[in-house]
Structure 1
């Protein structure tokens, strides 16, 4: 089962990025090309009933499997980046962090009105970043088709925040 394989490889890093946090590090997955392929295939299988025109990956770990997933689904990939990282005209969405705020952006011509966009990231925690990404999609009059994650930290209830945008929320491994 893919969840078991993921959990065997993901590394816990204590007190990162700050004391009291146990960071789920997916980078050991990247050393296993077969597992990477299995993850991409499993994500695509979970999404088989969802209409997807575009995959949008959230910087930076959302790029790792988001692009592969888009290729497998034969749809375009769009990067959602931290502010100031994209060279062309952008739209922005700010969101609150535990200490301060952050801003995501994407090119204003990246997605067409009415397109169904899957948002992909490596991990769902509280959902703040993903909600901001969802608002970016809606600013372009597109539809949030759903979400895909490698890991969901269910105890942080991030899924609840995403229901307002789409009921299609998939994660391969839950903690």
Structure 2
């Protein structure tokens, strides 16, 4: 029987030499694989009260939208700077190759709402950390973070754990 990991393609030397890129588009393209990933992410947080699902740009939108639909709750995107109209809150974060900024609408979450944060991949944890900090500024209660892939050697799960956030990943790969 296939696992979620079996649907993920690895592309060597992308975006730079030495990186093994874990491509979830092959998972998304397969109806069984995509359904399996959504079901397993939902199952990881079964029985928890969730008011909204938050997707981190960009593949987190695909996963998060499907999960929000299945849970019959709202969906909130956290986007790269300059992509959202209206008033936003911003949070800078560090990437392997520089810095970036994430934004969320300042009225996207009401204080006290319970949110589930979703993305495709957890590497250093910088993107998720920035998203969590934005949500906390809005008064959200973080139920947890769900990812398809964890790259444990890069320490993202440890970072989020140190922040007191529950992390669930469907599979892990060694290396970058």
**Per the shorter chain, which TM-score range?**
over 0.9
Match of 2:11 among 7, 13, 16: 13
| Contact preservation (8 Å) 1:144, 1:166 | no
Segment drifting more, 164-173 vs 131-140: 164-173
Is it true that 1:168 corresponds to 2:166 in the alignment? yes
Match of 1:43 in 2: 41
Match of 2:54 in 1: 56
Matched ranges for 1:2-151 at <5 A: 4-151=2-149
| Contact preservation (8 Å) 1:146, 1:166 | no
- How far apart, in 2, do the equivalents of 1:49 and 1:159 lie? 22
Measured on the aligned residues, the alpha-carbon RMSD in Å equals: 1.3
Please report how far the alpha carbon of residue 100 of structure 1 lies from its aligned counterpart in structure 2 after TM superposition: 2.2
Please report how far the alpha carbon of residue 98 of structure 1 lies from its aligned counterpart in structure 2 after TM superposition: 2.6
Q: How many residues align?
A: 173
| Contact preservation (8 Å) 2:7, 2:33 | no
| Contact preservation (8 Å) 1:111, 1:140 | yes
- Could you tell me the TM-score, scaled by structure 2's length? 0.93
Structure 2 unaligned residues grouped into runs of 5+: none
- Could you tell me the TM-score, scaled by structure 1's length? 0.93
Please report how far the alpha carbon of residue 8 of structure 1 lies from its aligned counterpart in structure 2 after TM superposition: 1.7
Structure 1 unaligned residues grouped into runs of 5+: none
- How far apart, in 2, do the equivalents of 1:80 and 1:18 lie? 26
- How far apart, in 1, do the equivalents of 2:111 and 2:31 lie? 36
| Contact preservation (8 Å) 1:145, 1:166 | no
- How far apart, in 2, do the equivalents of 1:41 and 1:98 lie? 31
Please report how far the alpha carbon of residue 38 of structure 1 lies from its aligned counterpart in structure 2 after TM superposition: 1.9
